[in-house]
Amino acid sequence: ILNVEQSPQSLHVQEGDSTNFTCSFPSSNFYALHWYRWETAKSPEALFVMTLNGDEKKKGRISATLNTKEGYSYLYIKGSQPEDSATYLCAFKGSQGNLIFGKGTKLSVKP
Amino acid sequence: NAGVTQTPKFRILKIGQSMTLQCTQDMNHNYMYWYRQDPGMGLKLIYYSVGAGITDKGEVPNGYNVSRSTTEDFPLRLELAAPSQTSVYFCASHTGRANYEQYFGPGTRLTVT
């Protein structure tokens, strides 16, 4: 059974803080790693799809890195804002099979 | 483009009743998926399809059925609703290409009592 682990489970930060969280996934048969942002009462929206070891992607204040050899990805948020409050999901895709989602990291940013 | 649409948004079912959750996408995606989301459990794959006429089981298919007669539509059928099927259901679609994300519908919140 393939496992995708995310940590921490939840995070409370003050507005302006920078934060990061981790996604761990199997290091064999890697195909892609997805990050999604999921606001309460909405549907998940894609942030990044990463496929190459050493990949770094950035969208505004959010960035992500990928290490396929050791099986982890970091998501960074610089200068958190209240509107960043959401659950951040990562999902692993092996060379065969569908996306396997982690349970997410729930971020709360206090003004 | 409307993207991925789902109906209904909310539904309450009695135990033993049946219903169909509708999902439609207008992006001409071959791949479509049904997930359920339970608190603290993340997204679990119920069924998926790689094209019209082709469906396959995901991680938690028991109690559900699907069909894929067209590229656009991928309905999910609950035949005999049980309380364990109380959940939020998300439909998603994908091009099938490696570098592309899945697109999710708005979800259907189902309660079985």
A28-55 pLDDT, tens digit per residue, is 889 999 999 999 888 999 999 999 999 9
Q: What is the mean pLDDT of residues B15-26?
A: 97
Q: How confident is the model at residue B93 (pLDDT cuts 50, 70, 90)?
A: very high
Question: Picking from A87-101, B41-55, B83-97, which range would have the lowest pLDDT averaged per residue?
Answer: A87-101
Q: Which of B43, B99, B103 to mutate to test the interface with A (most CBs of A within 10 A)?
A: B43
Q: Which of A32, A43, A91 sits opposite B90 (nearest CB)?
A: A43
Contact A49 B43 (CB under 8 A): no
Mean pLDDT of chain B: 94
Put simply, whether B33 touches A (Cβ < 8 Å) is yes
In chain B, beta strands by DSSP E: 4-7, 10-13, 19-25, 31-38, 42-51, 54-57, 64-66, 76-78, 87-94, 103-104, 108-112
Q: What is the pLDDT of residue B99?
A: 78
Residues of A whose CB is below 8 A from B90: 43-44
Residue A31 has its nearest CB partner, among B40, B98, B100, at: B98
B2 close to A (CB below 8 A): no
**What pLDDT is stored for residue B96 in this prediction?**
82
- Would you say B27 and B78 are in contact if contact means Cβ atoms under 8 Å apart? no
Over residues B56-85, the mean pLDDT reads 96
pLDDT of residue A100: 92
Residues of chain A with pLDDT under 70: 1
What distances in angstroms separate CA A20 from CA A10, A45, B9, one per listed residue?
Answer: 11, 19, 33
Query: What is the per-residue pLDDT for B97?
Result: 81
Residue B39 clears pLDDT 90, i.e. is over it: no
pLDDT, residue A98, reads 87
Query: Which of A31, A43, A102 is nearest residue B104 as measured by Cβ atoms?
Result: A43
* Proportion of chain B above pLDDT 70, given as a percent: 100
What is the pLDDT averaged over residues B92-108?
90
Instruction: Please name the member of B35, B90, B101 whose beta carbon is closest to the beta carbon of A49.
Output: B101
Q: Is A31 on the interface with B (CB under 8 A)?
A: yes
* pLDDT at residue A1, as a whole number: 65
Predicted local distance difference test score (pLDDT) of residue B75: 98
